[in-house]
Chain A
Amino acid sequence: MSQNNATKMVPLPTDVIIPERDLGKQPVLDIRNLGIDFGGLTAVDGFTLTVGKTEIAGLIGPNGAGKTTIFNLLTNVYQPTRGSILLQGIDTKGMTTAQVNRMGIARTFQNIRLFGGMSVIDNVKVGLHNSIKCSALSSILHTPHYYKTEKAARARCLELLDFMGMADMAQYQAGSLPYGAQRRLEIVRALATKPAIILLDEPAAGMNPSETAELMDHIRRIRDEFEIAVMLIEHDMNLVMGVCEGIAVLNYGKIIAKGTPEQICNNPAVIEAYLGKKGAADHASEG
């Protein structure tokens, strides 16, 4: 299964791993041969991946492999040099980050980016922003319609916060929350934008084992209850192997392996990428 897809073109890559329940449905993301150069340096090249409608996909690889760059490409923070991204069948080329979000990609950030000066619930309300239908004039005049929409938004925010076990923190200032809660709040805020896929950039970073276990549960529930896809970057292998259905391994900006958790665990190229040649040989001799 593991192979370099750099030159492989589509219609559909043959090595797509999609959970059975998503077969026959349009994939949420269809990334073809994506690549970006930063001033001559190729950061990502030939990235081809398909993510099923309700798949939990993992993106792993050593530090500096280009994982976050992929997220930045998917959300159009960077415009790709090559290749295309089809989001629910629509090419996102040339869109702004905000437009891509409205089309269905929400994300969290490796270095948490909350609206630190605002309350927890207001952070979520900002996520709901585009689904609150209230004109600027109506807002300025505080018409009854404004109160109605605000009330509905508040109820929805509390619902979403409750989903991640944060409803009791609604009035706290976001910047003053403990680390783990900040990461969860970022997820709630992303979910509030009604995405078709949520990208989680190292969601378990800085969490203790019990928090991580809880997070794994949350990730599965996000997929089940919102019926959306999840794609995550993570260094915690317990989490990745525990929740992901398909995993892609990135090294030096290229995919070196794709497969189910079992396949990835036993893939010699992956072991080599993580441990180096000598380490891989030791690993093989040990096991």
Chain B
Amino acid sequence: MAFLSNFINGLSLGSIYAIIALGYTMVYGIAKMLNFAHGDVIMVGAYVSFVSIYSLGTPPILALLISMCVCTVLGVVIERLAYRPLRSAASLAVLITAIGVSYLLQNVALLIWTSNTKVFPSIVSFGSLHIGSLTITGETIVSIITCVVIMIGLTLFTTKAKTGKAMRAVSENRQAAELMGISVNKTISVTFAIGSALAAVAGVLYCSMYPVLVPTTGSIPGIKAFTAAVLGGIGSIPGTLVGGLLLGIIEIFSRAYISQDLSDAIVFAVLIIILLVKPNGLLGKKVTEKV
């Protein structure tokens, strides 16, 4: 029973990783950059929801919507101010800038909300489900369902909607897409908007499950979600789901059966091993540089 319960916990943590990983994978696929600050957008999303529940007294679902809006704007603004001027710069410069943005968000949050731990209220109002001796919390059910809905929605969006198709075109070949009349800047903005809105959802879900909110809350789940994106294969939506779930399960099991202290190290070791053995991930495409 403990095994099954761990497995379900792994699935629900993995669902959240998958939602975060979508932001990484879309930005990486389309803007060809590792948005290091993505994890911190999660933290901002969680804080905004926290403030609106406690200070404004909004119902949780409205709080979630507010934080999605704030994060969407934040994501687009970050892209516009920090990343767009570097569109043609070396990837090293872009990555360093992204690290800068990550630190900026963390430290602004530190100034606004201080380093005192906030106890995040769960946004899930219904209780746990009991099947025999197995307990499934409401948060678990909500995160798994949310993840599945988002995955289906995003897959439909990228295959059916005009903007979604434009996103795929830009990710395949930016110049060619531009020649076809697709605005690359607009498409990248949309990508950041979607990714950041999803980050807000993930932030609220993550903090409902682990109710500790500090300015650095987002960074570790952020890096882990990036690991999930790499594991599944950067640029692939089903890959993200597979990668996220696998990583969530690996993390919960290593916490339960190996060591609480080393669970992060184990997740990072997974990242290293995948990049060495299968650098394009489980469902990713191979990319080679033309000589």
Contact = CB atoms under 8 A, between A and B. Distances in A.
Nearest to A97: B291
Interface in A66-116: 68, 72, 77, 109
The 4 tightest CB contacts between A and B, nearest first, are A77-B291, A72-B291, A109-B291, A68-B291
4 contacts: A68-B291, A72-B291, A77-B291, A109-B291
A138 to B, nearest CB: 31
Interface string B78-120: 0000000000000000000000000000000000000000000
Interface residues of A, number: 4
Contacts of A72: 291
Nearest to A107: B291
Interface of B: 291
Contacts of A77: 291
A68 B290 CA distance: 11
Interface of A: 68, 72, 77, 109
A109 B291 CA distance: 8
B208 to A, nearest CB: 45
Contacts of B291: 68, 72, 77, 109
Contacts of A68: 291
A73 B254 CA distance: 46
A72 B289 CA distance: 12
A64 to B, nearest CB: 13
A72 B291 CA distance: 8
A68 B291 CA distance: 9
A139 B96 CA distance: 32
Nearest to B289: A77
A26 B291 CA distance: 30
B284 to A, nearest CB: 15
B93 to A, nearest CB: 14
Nearest to A78: B291
A1 B36 CA distance: 61
Contacts of A109: 291
B154 to A, nearest CB: 28
A72 B290 CA distance: 10
A32 to B, nearest CB: 23
A72 B288 CA distance: 13
Nearest to B286: A39
